[in-house]
Structure 1
Amino acid sequence: MKFYSTNRSSPDMSFKEAVIKGLPQDKGLFFPEQVPTLPPSFFEALPDMALPEIAYEVLKEYTAPDIKPDALRAICEEVFTFPIPLVQVEEGIYALELFHGPTCAFKDVGARFMSRCLQAFAEPDKPVTVLVATSGDTGSAVANGFLGVDNIEVVILYPKGGVSEIQEMQFTTLGQNITAVAVEGTFDDCQQLVKQAFSDEELTREMNLSSANSINVARWLPQMVYYFHAWGQWRKQNPENDAAGATFAVPSGNFGNLAAGVIARQMGLPVLYFIAATNRNKVVPAYLESGEYSPAPSVATIANAMDVGSPNNFPRILEMFGNKYEDLKQVLKGYWTEDAPIRTAIQEVNENHKYLLDPHGAIAYLSLKQYLPSMETDGIFLETAHPAKFKGSIDDILGSDIALPEQLQAFLNKPKQSGSIGNNYSQFAALLQEQHKLQSQS
């Protein structure tokens, strides 16, 4: 499979080249030259297929010929080692729990898959430096996915004071090949610093840079897998349901997760609608209402992992609909809410249905409550992170002291190892050059 740039001013690249490079030179996003269609037999078998088997079938066309079939099967077996259950919350509404992995967030899937791909591609004399901007869960998932991987250094930028305490502990206490850097600014500022590094010709000549944000195809594409899995589990739980498809509500910040769902639909997954569920950073819902796409400075909310004012992956969604606004609107619905309804939803769902939402999943749940009556489908919302990752907020809302799962307890009381820079590219470039010098000397 070849991948082209959505800006169409950079050369096409193989999967391997696209993964290592991360971003095309023209500042577009890599996109597959063709989207394969899965046969009806796949969907018939899907309810009884194991996750690694689904992953292999879904990803094999995109990774060939750079990853051989046996190697891809081995990677899928290594990555999909934890359950992703579909849990009924109430009549017609299901939660897809994506928080049972090592860092309790949906990004464990993409980060682990990408780390195995880069490990397979890395050359001993060409160490790779992976750059990551995070608003919370990306940092922890990438750090833990790449921890101890030979020949790969990871640099994580995060907004100072802009992630939860537990999220921060997950990527600032590891050391080894993981460097965490707090930036005096927002997530969008961190994202912009990473973009500047990729467009810095002097730096990219000197260093072998890659990105582990969802802009990287090896982070983005594996997220398709759990949409197929969710639909299969929904059909298994509702064999008598005659509906052809379901509606997915996706908590959306940088829009990589939603873009993965949309490409799964293009491969044949029976999804009637997607809902882009956001907080006050409502750039995409506003676009769906007006047709005007206007990125704006991000604002802080209780759902901090979605505090993104300029979503990087939305161009991929536009690409899938040929940049045709009316076609996109037929499939994609927009929803946004303030913090107060999120708090109320967490409290009421806990009381009435004995199910604990995290702030991001709560937004997606609220979007289904608004849209489902007119859609006449069942709804599946993505629970993208364990509620305990937002313990302070959840405890405050419920007036309780929720327990931490084992994966999160492991990070408690470890010393923090992180640096700090201003929102200044020259400082970031100097940090990368110094790290490269130390890496070359070791």
Structure 2
Amino acid sequence: PRVRNGFSHLNKNDKERIAVVTFFPENGVSDFQKAEIIGSQRENGWAIGVRSDFDFCQTAIRKIFNDSDFTGFLAVEYGTILSSANSINWARLLPQIVYHASAYLELVNQRFISFGSPVDVCVPTGNFGNVLAAVYAKMMGIPIRKFICASNQNHVLTDFIKTGHYDLRNRKLAQTFSPSIDILKSSNLERHLYLMANKDGQLMANLYHQLESQLHFRIEKMLVEKLQQEFVADWCSEGECLAAISTTYNASGYILDPHTAVAKVVADKMQDKSCPVLIASTAHYSKFAPAIMQALGIKELNQTSSSQLYLLSSYNALPPPHEALLERMKQKEKMDYQVCVADVDVLKSHAEKLIQNWFVRKSE
């Protein structure tokens, strides 16, 4: 939604040459996230639900980018180049690097720590993007001591950091209260392993070919030890997630969203109290109202979505209510959007049709 919203503010000429399509897992986001995705459609931005999970969507997009026949056809036939606004594109990590640096400097500014003192960073992660941005922030000078990876029930990353074995065999994606980290195929881990292995591209190709063909790979002991020098990891159950939301609210009046709660649980388990821990809070709790209401013991779970939001906003909790989401839920008419099957060729067909309808029509 943020990407489409940003591109909707382009001037008229730029709108005619830049457009955004979002493929999202039809049943892999919360109702509020879906309302936000669909409701943020603009004249040059569209949403398409895919009957699959995030892993399929991301893998499909990567396959489309790697299909030189298709991308070449789009360039020649329509003068159109494909790009990505999620962390398939390295540029997605740039703003995340900035806020890791900003968070550290804010602690210094508040005199909570002195400049140069180390901190640990805990990130709820499934795709390894946000925590990789913290790695880059450290490489640029922010004194981060340990990176704490927090997983939910889909804890393939936690298991990998503990063992060096990335294993998808007999592992099925679970739908949890923290859907944005319901991911088994972590696209950014490859980037970090590449750096750790002294930029050995052939090793990465071999490992990820094995993952594709055999659903697992194992890195050598030396690389595991190198990884564990800076990374620790653990995971959080659904019950622990709800309990963290409840206890944090009762203690401070602050409502954690479920992803941040996952990080809080894991940070509490893993910190050694020798330096502060920065938790990356990754979403607003309003987008996950049913889970929040369950955590806080609010019984009116059958209310309409907008009623749930207004009820939560009446708590006067921190952070303040999500005004844009409240406005979105007020909209009486439901926006149309398309839904498609989980097939790469179908996604390609949708992309081409949207290109035809927008760019070709605009140039006529």
Q: Secondary structure at the match of 1:204?
A: helix
Describe the shift of the 1:257–1:242 C-alpha distance in structure 2 as closer, same or farther (beyond 3 A): closer
Q: Does 1:210 align with 2:210?
A: no
Q: Determine what percentage of the aligned residue pairs are the same residue.
A: 29
Q: Does 1:264 align with 2:137?
A: yes
Which whole-Å CA distance do the structure 1 matches of 2:148 and 2:264 have between them? Answer: 10
Instruction: Name which one, 1 or 2, has greater alpha-carbon Rg.
Output: 2
Which whole-Å CA distance do the structure 2 matches of 1:420 and 1:371 have between them? Answer: 41
Pick one of 253, 262, 283 that aligns with 1:385.
283
Pick one of 188, 197, 202 that aligns with 2:55.
188
Which whole-Å CA distance do the structure 2 matches of 1:233 and 1:420 have between them? Answer: 43
Q: Does 1:330 align with 2:222?
A: no
Q: Partner of 1:302 in structure 2?
A: 177
Q: Deviations over 1:266-320 (max 9, x none)?
A: 1111011110111011111101111112245432111011000101111122233
Q: Partner of 1:156 in structure 2?
A: 22
Q: Partner of 1:321 in structure 2?
A: 196
Q: Does 1:169 align with 2:35?
A: yes
Which whole-Å CA distance do the structure 2 matches of 1:331 and 1:184 have between them? Answer: 38
Q: Secondary structure at the match of 1:212?
A: coil
Q: Partner of 1:425 in structure 2?
A: 344
Which whole-Å CA distance do the structure 1 matches of 2:289 and 2:248 have between them? Answer: 17
1:202 partner letter: D
Which whole-Å CA distance do the structure 1 matches of 2:18 and 2:163 have between them? Answer: 44
Which whole-Å CA distance do the structure 2 matches of 1:167 and 1:364 have between them? Answer: 20
User: Between Structure 1 and Structure 2, which shows a larger proportion of helix residues?
Assistant: 2
Q: Partner of 2:3 in structure 1?
A: 142
Q: Secondary structure at the match of 1:377?
A: coil
- Contact 1:299/1:309 (<8 A) preserved: no
Q: CA RMSD in A?
A: 1.8
- Contact 1:275/1:333 (<8 A) preserved: yes
- Contact 1:346/1:362 (<8 A) preserved: yes
Which whole-Å CA distance do the structure 2 matches of 1:342 and 1:261 have between them? Answer: 23
Which whole-Å CA distance do the structure 1 matches of 2:126 and 2:112 have between them? Answer: 33
1:425 partner letter: V
Which whole-Å CA distance do the structure 2 matches of 1:206 and 1:440 have between them? Answer: 14
Q: Partner of 2:360 in structure 1?
A: 440
Which whole-Å CA distance do the structure 1 matches of 2:91 and 2:361 have between them? Answer: 30
Q: Secondary structure at the match of 1:182?
A: strand
- Contact 2:233/2:270 (<8 A) preserved: no
Which whole-Å CA distance do the structure 2 matches of 1:252 and 1:243 have between them? Answer: 26
> Where do 5+ consecutive residues of structure 2 fail to align?
75-80, 199-222, 299-310, 314-320
Which whole-Å CA distance do the structure 2 matches of 1:335 and 1:266 have between them? Answer: 24
TM-score, with normalisation over the residues of structure 2? 0.79
Q: Which runs of 4+ in 1 moved over 4 A?
A: 239-243
- Contact 1:342/1:363 (<8 A) preserved: yes
Of stretches 283-292 and 432-441 in structure 1, the one that deviates more from structure 2 is: 432-441
State the Cα distance separating 1:223 from its structure 2 match. Answer: 1.0
> Where do 5+ consecutive residues of structure 1 fail to align?
1-139
- Contact 1:249/1:277 (<8 A) preserved: yes
Which whole-Å CA distance do the structure 2 matches of 1:239 and 1:262 have between them? Answer: 22
Q: Deviations over 1:21-62 (max 9, x none)?
A: xxxxxxxxxxxxxxxxxxxxxxxxxxxxxxxxxxxxxxxxxx
User: Between Structure 1 and Structure 2, which shows a larger proportion of strand residues?
Assistant: 1
State the Cα distance separating 1:239 from its structure 2 match. Answer: 5.5
Q: Partner of 2:127 in structure 1?
A: 254
Pick one of 325, 333, 337 that aligns with 1:408.
325
Q: Deviations over 1:154-194 (max 9, x none)?
A: 11111112211221122212231111111111111111221
Which whole-Å CA distance do the structure 1 matches of 2:112 and 2:8 have between them? Answer: 42
- Contact 2:242/2:294 (<8 A) preserved: no
State the Cα distance separating 1:242 from its structure 2 match. Answer: 8.8
